[in-house]
Amino acid sequence: MSSRTPSPAAWRGRRLPRPVLGALVGAVVVLGLALAVVTAMLLSRPADRTAQPAGSGGPGQPSQTTQADPTGPPTTTASRLPAATTPQEIADRIEAAVADAVVAGTIDAEAADKLREKVDDLRQNAGRGKARKSAQELQRTIDQLREDGQVAEQTAAQLTGLLRPLLGGD
């Protein structure tokens, strides 16, 4: 045999050792799982609401803004959406309601930022089984902002109503 092709016996010695092969297969599995998790997170993320006009009736928006009196601020009316039941749905609805309230002028920008931070905490803690505690903290923040005059009574009542399923009837 004068050709340069190694014999089958020579190939046997060039196989990857089992630990290396196992590590490579494990790495591929971990990368596949990571890709699946990232995809699931991206698909479950709420839509970017900055691209939608307020009250456009887009997915997850619980209310519509109407101009009852052209000289006065817009008013917010609740639409007939099914009740939110998961912490994620509730957080989405609260976030949309806060955005609508900012447009309507029933909440100031600083208060809206505080509420968005608490809504983000609610989303993060829901996966850890702490949704009720986060909901209680969000409720305290709503109450404090209402008492300070940074959130209108009607808006505070709307946000509290959205949050009620997580509070357990408090």
pTM: 0.51
Give the integer Cα–Cα distance in Å for 75 and 134: 29
- What is the structure's pLDDT at 8? 62
Residues of the chain with pLDDT > 90: what percent? 26
Residues of the chain with pLDDT > 70: what percent? 65
Q: Contact, 137 vs 118, CB < 8 A?
A: yes
Adjacent-strand bridge partners of 65: 76
Three-state SS for the chain is CCCCCCCHHHHHCCCCCHHHHHHHHHHHHHHHHHHHHHHHHHHHCCCCHHHCCCCCCCCCCCEEEECCCCCCCCEEEECCCCCCCCHHHHHHHHHHHHHHHHHHCCECHHHHHHHHHHHHHHHHHHCCCCHHHHHHHHHHHHHHHHHCCCECHHHHHHHHHHHHHHHCCC
pLDDT digit string (tens) for 76-119?
A: 444 455 566 788 888 899 999 999 999 999 998 899 999 999 99
137: left (phi over 0), alpha (psi -120 to 50) or beta: alpha
- What is the structure's pLDDT at 16? 64
For the chain, the C-alpha Rg in angstroms (whole number) is 26
Res 70 pLDDT > 50: no
